[in-house]
Structure 1
């Protein structure tokens, strides 16, 4: 593939050449010749200079069908289907006969734009003008219906064609492949071969998109064999689709063999396909090696190449590579590309909280921001707990008159959940309802989560009931909501109902179920759920073991928790040790707590919670020397306790406070009221009636 600047230079050279021909034609008077004028109009349209082309079109004293077809094709190729349609209508009004090329161009534009209503009008004209049996027109009509997801209409056109060529068959096969009808697509391939029509790259490429799972590996091999049999193994389209198909079927080795065998016939898509295969299989090192190799061989990366390789650099270990790619993007002048900037945003936001500032800097420098750009920053704020910033940013999105989609609604509702801002959450709910996103599974899940966190499980259940129940996303949220509200029985009943409804269970489903068991003390049942996960095709993850460790700990069965940690098929991470430390605190087992804390301090030496929890346990047991040692260790490592924050929503405004905070504008008034309340509490401590009330409450059954 030629570098972008070479393409620009070639485009400029082509325009210059057409302009010279135009000037000479004017000077010699041959511009009035229709044939010459048609060539110049076609040249201008190929250079995307439609204004000049249309001006010349208007000046031609004698037009023919080619003249009209040239200007129609020009507008279609520039994506302006409506203008092309208006010219078609003008062509008919001026008495010019439309032909197969006219319909081919207009239907191509309709297919790309998805304007099926215009396509149906064109179909009507085709029938009226007798072009229904024309192979070129019928194939274009078939292709239009197929690309607009109207495969039944496409099939009707196909059946009525007196003559079918490979283009007709390919268009129909591609149509069924696009809607995911695997059976009909392969049946059509058999019929095509039986009728003696030779398959080509346009036949096999759409079929290969349908074999995208390990269960179709053998079928992929069969199609690949047909590709080789028909001499298409070096064809770019078939080769690229085969690489992707083998990758999707889980065989990176076969994908690499196809890639290696295509040397000499590779294009940028071939390299991108192999790059995507490596990244899909978490082969980051090989992907970077390929990225460098392609440039060494003279292949200039395109936008897809950059967005793919940048998206793989979100892990901490790859941050240097990510920054190097960012520098390369700037060096090559591509930082103004919105898709590339969006991929850089995603890279920084997925990496670590400390890179949030880098992401914001990129966002602010972007000349053109799309919904992906805005949603990335909003999601970043939400994921890293910067909920107040997320709410303010969402308000900016509203002021920018940006269309809010389900990603934005999900993110802002999560922030409302974190802050427990019920009123604001309800307003966002209304906005989602007006925008038609309430039934979206991700928005519905966020609504359920928000109402649950705000303590209104009834409204969470209402949100669940009004959404389609064919996805695990909403089921998981409502099960978890009931579990966190201590309604373990309701949570388990929902799990059994979900299973009966044939909704596919996933690893989050079992986190919710195990949480429910933990909250209501169903120790044996919870442990049995963990052991049964494999039977559902879901291997237990770290978080599932952490849930059962918590379950054992709440029941005071610390020895079984220890045994479970030893029996885990992988090394316990910080989450598991934190869970064990928490259960030790509840049970008062300081020796086991010390062991857990020791492992935690190795894994996360900067995490303040471990030091604080262990220090408090030593303090409760009056082991002052050990408590002092923990405090000294914190000081030596520069670890400081992060103060807790609390929020309150008053008249749609969120107010945040932490310990001994004096930043609030009404700080003096707040502390004055708090002082008055404390004095009132102290006076009540001596009130005999209060003591009697407390005594009565302590003895309530």
Structure 2
């Protein structure tokens, strides 16, 4: 077949080829449907159409887990496996699936293949990305050498990819040198260099290069905004955001996420509502922001709005963002509903989703369901074990938590700080003093350093177990400045033990540190009242008034038919239901009276 025949084949497609392409372009292809399409291609002998074959490989590789394996098997047995277009498609598929080692290995195999594969600028783009993301410095140097030998260093696409690769290595001297030697630079080249300096923490150089850039597009601004957001410099981020001539969804989402991370969810929500166009990332950022800032009811309301919107469907990030809000409210009906959605959409294949479900069920008191999900998981990560250990701890199952901890170590997982906090929490909940001290002293064994939260956990355990002298000694010896949480915990333990002498030593510091903490004042007032120290009682009342501390209003949260209702002491929100509530309480009182008279 001559060149003209090849060109005509690439332009004129048969009806069957068009039909096959249409099938591959469908949004939701499954593994089964792709196997059927492959059979269709083989039956009609159209796999020789290289563009169609490349489209099949890229579509197939987008199917999670097994898709890339089938794509690679097809590539390895293809008669066109040395065609540049097909090879580049396969290399890119490996990178897109984060199979960086396989990408580099395939390139090495193709180089030594005698059939004459010749790499081009697209080849080196995928390889540079694979080396950069896998931190393969020596492999990256080898790729750089091949680019140089084959004369692609002057190619804008290849040289920009190398600048990005060295930036990901953290080798900004190499990256900047390559950038300076580029005969032609695009806006992408400038943005890549700015991003490299920003990612490596040199924000001053990043800002200078950003201002030197001859033209700035959305991507350039987004890189700088993201850098400022990461260091919580929201004033600079907002200044650039307001300065942008055009904004895209990434710009809006980045600034929303920044405000959420800073705790300013009101500003974030204002921007979210103002956005001209939203995507699922925007919804996830706002829902996650509410969850992280303990505004759980707002998170659920926003998730409800997302579900009622027909344009987007929740994904794994959405589920992982909303489940902590469910756990925080103890809204079990919501949790069960989300679990059903996850199962129906097959999102439970993701380890982080199952981990979030374990955490949610444990915090809602359904520890058996949490254990069942854990046991059914084909693969577990350290966060999964941590979620179950902590879940068992908060449900008072210290023995089971310690057993899971032992199993985790037997399975080859190395504990981290969160694991040991869960273990100490288990000991704390069940009053296992010796066990708690044993695991606190085991930090060195795992090359870990206890944080203030670990000290706080052990101090609380010692305090409530009556080991006040040991707890006070630990406070004095710990390498951290004592915080309000630790002091309040110890003060409470002293109050419970009626150790007035220790209370006197600690109360001044506790009040100075947290003058608004009503719990400290209430504990001190009650202790002095029990000891009949009425002058001190009046002193505490005066201090409470002077410091502006008010006793926290009691409230309860219940879930009724999927609605989370909050009842606050003295609230008049539910006046219509008040008659019914008192009627039911009256009936309950009668039943209790009858039961008491019968027994």
TM-score range with shorter-chain normalisation? 0.7 to 0.9
Q: How far off is 1:563 after superposition?
A: 1.8
Match of 2:496 in 1: 586
Q: Is residue 554–residue 568 contact of structure 2 (8 Å, CA) maintained in 1? A: yes
The within-5 A match list for 1:423-438 is 423-438=333-348
Alignment check: 8 A CA contact 1:227 1:238 kept: no
Larger Rg: 1
Q: Indicate the residue corresponding to 2:576 in structure 1.
A: 666
Task: Report what 2:98 is aligned to.
Answer: none
Q: For 2:208, what is the secondary structure of its paired residue?
A: helix
Structure 1 stretches of 5 or more lacking a match? 1-62, 73-80, 86-97, 175-200, 247-254, 279-285, 694-701
TM-superposed CA distance for 1:370, in Å, is 1.4
Residue 468 (structure 2) aligns with: 558
Instruction: Say yes or no: does 1:644 pair with 2:559.
Output: no
1:241 to 2:165 alignment: yes
Answering whether residue 302 of structure 2 is matched by residue 393 of structure 1, we say: yes
Distance 1:550 1:330, change over 3 A: same
The equivalent residue for 2:180 is 264
Superposition pairs for residues 462-611 of structure 1, below 5 Å? 462-593=372-503, 595-611=505-521
1:461 to 368, 371, 377: 371
| Matches for 1:187-202 after TM superposition, within 5 Å | none
**1:562-583 residue CA offsets vs partner (Å, 9 max, x unmatched):** 2222222232333333332343
Distance 1:267 1:375, change over 3 A: closer
Q: Structure 1 residues 225, 383: CA separation in 2 closer, same or farther (over 3 Å shift)?
A: closer
Deviation of 1:646 (Å) = 0.4
Look up the match of 1:185. none
Query: Which stretch shows the higher mean deviation, 154-163 or 483-492?
Result: 154-163
1:360 corresponds to which residue? Answer: 269
Q: Which residue of structure 2 aligns with residue 332 of structure 1?
A: 244
The alignment status of 1:351 with 2:262, answered yes or no, reads yes
Q: CA deviation at 1:621?
A: 3.8
Counterpart Cα distance in 1 of 2:196 and 2:562: 50
- Alignment pair present for 1:449 and 2:359: yes
Q: Aligned match of 1:210 in 134, 137, 150?
A: 134
Change (3 A) 1:502 1:636: same
Query: How far apart, in 2, do the equivalents of 1:636 and 1:433 lie?
Result: 55
Q: 1:413 to 1:211 in 2, by over 3 A?
A: closer
Mapping 1:306-345, distance limit 5 Å: 306-311=221-226, 321-335=233-247, 337-345=248-256
Q: Residues 635 and 241 (structure 1 numbering): CA distance in 2 closer, same or farther, change over 3 Å?
A: same
For residue 157 of structure 1, report the CA deviation from its aligned partner: 6.5
Deviations 1:514-534 (A, max 9, x none): 111122332222122122123
Match of 1:632 among 542, 545, 552: 542
Mapped to 2, the partners of 1:577 and 1:603 lie a distance apart of 9
Structure 2 runs not aligned, ≥5 long: 14-20, 26-45, 95-101, 182-188
- CA 1:491–1:627 in 2, change beyond 3 Å: closer, same or farther? same
Give the Cα separation in 2 of the matches to 1:228 and 1:66.
29
- Evaluate the alpha carbon distance shift between residue 109 and residue 293 of structure 1 in structure 2; reply closer, same or farther with a 3 A threshold: farther
Q: How does 1:41-120 map to 2 (within 5 A)?
A: 103=50
Cα distance in 2 between the residues matched to 1:125 and 1:508 = 47
Contact residue 543 and residue 575 of structure 1 kept, 8 A: no
Corresponding position of 2:89: 144
Q: Distance in 2 between matches of 1:667 and 1:438?
A: 40
| Pairs aligned (count) | 542
Q: If the length of structure 1 is used for normalisation, what is the TM-score?
A: 0.66
Matches within 5 A, 1:162-177: 162-167=115-120, 171=123
Moved more, 599-608 or 573-582: 599-608
Q: Is 2:260–2:290's contact at 8 Å kept on the other side of the alignment?
A: no
CA distance in 2, matches of 1:64, 1:505: 63
Query: Does structure 1 retain, via aligned residues, the 8 Å contact 2:210–2:220?
Result: no
Distance 1:577 1:163, change over 3 A: same
On the 8 A contact 1:107/1:119 being kept in 2, the answer is no
Q: Which whole-Å CA distance do the structure 1 matches of 2:143 and 2:469 have between them?
A: 56
Give distance in 2, aligned partners of 1:684 and 1:624. 43
Q: CA RMSD in A?
A: 4.4
**Counterparts of 2:466 and 2:293 in 1: how far apart (Å)?**
34
- Alpha-carbon distance in structure 1 between the residues aligned to 2:191 and 2:229: 24
Aligned to 1:556, the other structure's residue is in SS state: coil
Q: Name the SS of the counterpart of 2:564 in structure 1.
A: strand
* 1:249 aligned residue: none
Quote the offset at 1:327 in angstroms.
3.4
How has the CA–CA distance of structure 1 residues 119 and 202 changed in structure 2, closer, same or farther, with 3 Å as cutoff?
A: closer
Shift of 1:679: 7.0
Name the CA distance, whole Å, in 1 between partners of 2:114 and 2:211.
Answer: 50
Q: How many angstroms apart in 1 are the aligned matches of 2:358 and 2:74?
A: 48
Alpha-carbon distance in 1 for matches of 2:229, 2:533: 44
Are the structure 2 counterparts of residues 573 and 226 from structure 1 closer, same or farther at C-alpha, using a change threshold of 3 Å?
A: farther
| C-alpha contact 1:410 1:443 (8 A) present in aligned 2 | yes
**3-state SS, counterpart of residue 641 of structure 1:** coil
User: Aligned equivalents of 1:233 and 1:603: distance in 2?
Assistant: 61
Question: Aligned equivalents of 1:501 and 1:242: distance in 2?
Answer: 37
Q: Call closer, same or farther: CA 1:108–1:306 in 2, change over 3 Å.
A: farther
Q: Distance in 2 between matches of 1:642 and 1:261?
A: 61
Q: Deviations over 1:353-382 (max 9, x none)?
A: xx1111111111112211121122222222
SS at 1:655 equivalent: strand
Partners of 2:147 and 2:483 in 1: how far apart? Answer: 49
Q: What SS does the aligned partner of 2:91 have? A: helix
Cα distance per residue 1:626-654 (max 9 Å; x no partner): 44444434434444333132022233333
1:93 alignment partner in structure 2: none
Q: Determine the structure 2 residue equivalent to 1:371.
A: 280
